C-alpha cells in the first residue's frame, strides 16, 4: 500500500514559477537550475513530516513557516528565462504567483480550526501536479517523481463501466452490482476531510479479516494486490481511476491520516466489495 510519504512528496512538489533574464537559458542550463531549486524546495517542505498536519492545531504553525520557502522558490525561478521551446512554462508561471498566498490561506484556515475549509485549501494546493509533471517531461526531473507522487485523476476509459464511490468520514458507499471488466471508479468526496480511493484484489487464500487485523496492528501485509488509486479529492471534489476487475473479493481503502493521527483505514475506510 502507498504511504503517507507519497502525500508529503506531492506537497513538496506543487510550487512552480518562472522569470525573465536578458537572454533565454539553454535547455540544459534551465533544467539544471530548476532542478536545484526543486531540491531546495523539497527539503523545506519535508518539514511537514515532523507533524500531523491533518490536524489544524498542529498544522497551523508549520504552514505559516512554509510561506517563506514558497516565496524563496518563486523568487529563484523568477530569475530564470525559459528556453523558447518550453511551451509549458507560461502556465507554470501563473501557478507560481498563487502558491505563497495559497500557503497563507491554509495557515489561516488552520488557525480558525474549521476542518472543511482547511482541507479544501490544502487540496487546492496539492491536487494539481500538472506543472511539475510537464517540467519533468521537459527535463527538470527533480521536480516530479511519478513513482513517488500521488496519481492524477483520469478520464474514464472508452468502454469502461463508470462507478461512483461516495466518501465521507469514515466510510465508503460502494455499489453492490459491479460486474467483471473495464471500470472507471470515480471517488466523490462528500466529507470534510481529504480522501483517496485505492482498491486491490485479495490474494488467493487470504481473507479480509486477516488483512484488517494486520493493518489494525500497524503492519503492511502482502495479502492483496493493489489495482488502482485515484488522485486526492478534497471536500466537494472528485477523482477517477481506471482499472479492470475480475470476479472475486476486492478491498477499498483510504490511507489519508485523520486529525487524530490514525489513518482513515483504521477508522473504517478499509472495506471489502464483491465483483461478479
Spans of all domains in the chain: 4-143, 161-275
Task: Give the cell for residue 265.
Answer: 483505514
CATH 3.40.50.2000 fits 161-275, yes or no: no
Whole-angstrom CA distances from 266 to 20, 83, 216, 262, 263 are 49, 48, 6, 6, 5
Longest dimension (CA), the chain: 65
To which residue does cell 498536519 refer?
Answer: 53
- Looking only at the bridges linking them, the beta strands covering 181-189 and 238-245 are antiparallel
Q: How far apart are CA 188 and CA 195, in angstroms?
A: 9
Which contacts qualify for 82-85: CB closer than 8 Å, 24 or more apart? 82/18, 82/24, 82/25, 82/30, 83/24, 83/25, 83/26, 83/27, 83/30, 84/24, 85/27
Alpha-carbon distances of 151 from 61, 145, 174, 191, 252, rounded to whole Å = 28, 11, 21, 21, 16
User: One digit per residue, pLDDT tens: the chain, 276 residues?
Assistant: 555 555 555 555 555 544 444 689 999 999 999 999 999 999 999 998 888 999 999 999 999 999 999 999 998 888 889 999 999 988 888 887 888 999 999 999 999 999 999 999 999 988 778 899 999 999 999 999 988 888 999 999 999 999 999 999 999 999 999 999 999 999 999 999 999 999 999 999 999 999 999 888 777 778 999 999 999 999 999 999 999 999 999 999 999 999 999 999 999 999 999 999
For the chain, list the strands marked E by DSSP. Answer: 161-168, 171-173, 181-189, 198-202, 224-229, 238-245, 248-253, 270-275
Model's pTM, two decimal places? Answer: 0.87
Amino acid at each position: 500500500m502507498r504511504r503517507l510519504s507519497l502525500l508529503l512528496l506531492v506537497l513538496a512538489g506543487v510550487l512552480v514559477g518562472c522569470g525573465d533574464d536578458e537572454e533565454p537559458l539553454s535547455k540544459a542550463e534551465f533544467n539544471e537550475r530548476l532542478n536545484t531549486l526543486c531540491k531546495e524546495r523539497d527539503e523545506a517542505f519535508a518539514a511537514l513530516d515532523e507533524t500531523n498536519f491533518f490536524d489544524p492545531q498542529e498544522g497551523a504553525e508549520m504552514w505559516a513557516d512554509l510561506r517563506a520557502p514558497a516565496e524563496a522558490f518563486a523568487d529563484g525561478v523568477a530569475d530564470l528565462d525559459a528556453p523558447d521551446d518550453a511551451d509549458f512554462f507560461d502556465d507554470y508561471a501563473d501557478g507560481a504567483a498563487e502558491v505563497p498566498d495559497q500557503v497563507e490561506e491554509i495557515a489561516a484556515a488552520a488557525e480558525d480550526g474549521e476542518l472543511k475549509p482547511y482541507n479544501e485549501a490544502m487540496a487546492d494546493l496539492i491536487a494539481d501536479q500538472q506543472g511539475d509533471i510537464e517540467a519533468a517531461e521537459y527535463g527538470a526531473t527533480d521536480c516530479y517523481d511519478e513513482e513517488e507522487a500521488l496519481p492524477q485523476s483520469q478520464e474514464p476509459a472508452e468502454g469502461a463501466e463508470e462507478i461512483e464511490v461516495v466518501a465521507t468520514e469514515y466510510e465508503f458507499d460502494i455499489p453492490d452490482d459491479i460486474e467483471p471488466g473495464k471500470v472507471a471508479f470515480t471517488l466523490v468526496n462528500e466529507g470534510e476531510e481529504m480522501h483517496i480511493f485505492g482498491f486491490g484484489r485479495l490474494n488467493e487464500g487470504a481473507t479480509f479479516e486477516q488483512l484488517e487485523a494486520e493493518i489494525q496492528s500497524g503492519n503492511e501485509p502482502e495479502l492483496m494486490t493493489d489495482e488502482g488509486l485515484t488522485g486526492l479529492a478534497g471536500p466537494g471534489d472528485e477523482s477517477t481511476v481506471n482499472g479492470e476487475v475480475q470476479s472475486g473479493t476486492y478491498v477499498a481503502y483510504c490511507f489519508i491520516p485523520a486529525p487524530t493521527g490514525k489513518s482513515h483505514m483504521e477508522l473504517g475506510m478499509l472495506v471489502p466489495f464483491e465483483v461478479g
